[in-house]
Amino acid sequence: MERTVIQSLIKWKESADRKPLILNGARQVGKTWLLRRFAQQNYAKEAYIICRKNELVKQLFVQDFDVDRILRGLRAISGVDITPHDTLIILDEVQEVPEILEALKYFCESAPDYHIAVAGSFLGLSLHAGVSYPVGKVNTIHLYPMSFEEFLLAKGEEEAAKLLAQRDYQTTNLLHEKYEDLLRQYYYVGGMPEAVKCYVETGALQQVRHIQLEILHGYDMDFSKHAPQELVARIRLVWQNIPSQLFKENKKFVYGALRKGARANEFELAIQWLVDAGLLYQVRNCTKVALPLDIYADMSAFKLYMVDVGLLGAMVNTDASLVLVQNKIFSEYKGGMTEQYVLQQMKSHGVAPIYYHKSDNSRLEIDFLVQQQGQPLPVEVKAEGNVRANSLSALLSANPSLRSLRYSMLQYWEQGQMTNVPLYAV
């Protein structure tokens, strides 16, 4: 399988001002595989070390930050003659030895010719008191689940992926039914690499679902292992409640849906833990369609989405026939699956910031709001071909210079201020 983010790793390797690399991302999104594949394809040597439950590594980094001493130790532990420029040092599961993160500052300052990359599933969590994060001394790349394009490549649909990358809508319109069928498959399988690999190699739908449920079980176990004990019950409650919040008409997160009388101050830390762990995406409300979007953010109003559309389907036990045989997956669940997919695609393509829009004095709501080429860009998401969008139409009428995107299961076409794009071309 290929990951398009490997191009970002190649740019990192070739950069004149390269710094130590942190590869961030949720558990099971393929961080270890990606770094090792990158090393094998682009370096003469790979020094791969797992830091989890590795006392030698811990002893190496807790003494001091003498880079020469640390390099000698890494050579001894890995059994690799680590040399500048041609060796990639990979330190995996570094969250269990947080001093490694602090040491990256000294690699940047004292050993810039050595290429070092670290990965861990919970690097976004601020759990390590007394450890200094190397601000300004590292490069960071975030890895997400496999995008729809990567799913196509894994299935051997290189030409289909190429047409989407080239935005050849004249041709994709002719292949609309094929793309729609492929998108249905992606809705079921999702982008977790192990599930994609199983599906591509065997087509075994129940085995794919078993893998998804195992990943979800692993996340649940992580709550007890990594989260503060006083937060675990609330983290689980938020996590289990995400599908029901997404599958309602108004997808704004409601604390009262967790339990009667629930308040923000009870669950804010639990939500932030899940966001920092990369398991949830938080999309806040932007009260005005104007730049910069950040200054109009309403911190109290937000939507929560999961890390992966396939895992979302597994949580609610979506039946394979509903997704792959019947044509109901785009209409069921009040568009929640479709919004999840669109957000996931935007994340995988590096779109930031991402908001939704609802003003204080209006009932109208826009699904997503981003900025493109120095302009705000409203994004409307429709699960089917029914594209009536009163909110978007009203917004465009009031702002004649505004451009917008509408994603649906209709083919590509331009319509005044609006560009209609099929969901498989997000």
305 in helix, strand or coil? strand
pLDDT band at 127 (very low <50, low <70, confident <90, very high): very low
User: Does position 194 have pLDDT exceeding 90, yes or no?
Assistant: yes
pLDDT band at 210 (very low <50, low <70, confident <90, very high): very high
User: Does position 126 have pLDDT exceeding 50, yes or no?
Assistant: no
What is the rounded distance in angstroms from the CA atom of residue 341 to the CA atom of residue 246? 12
- Which domains does the chain carry? 6-142 (3.40.50.300), 154-425 (no CATH)
Tens of pLDDT, residues 300-329: 999 999 999 999 999 999 888 877 776 665
Q: Which two tokens stand for residue 414?
A: 């331009």
Q: Which two tokens stand for residue 269?
A: 């830390």
Q: Which two tokens stand for residue 71?
A: 């390099």
Contact 376, 291 (CB under 8 A): yes
What is the rounded distance in angstroms from the CA atom of residue 376 to the CA atom of residue 392? 13
Tens of pLDDT, residues 363-372: 789 999 999 9
Question: Which residue is it, tokens 């099971």?
Answer: 28
What is the rounded distance in angstroms from the CA atom of residue 191 to the CA atom of residue 150? 8
Q: Which contiguous run of DSSP H or E holds residue 48? A: strand 45-50
Please give the distance of CA 326 from its chain centroid, rounded to a whole number. Answer: 28
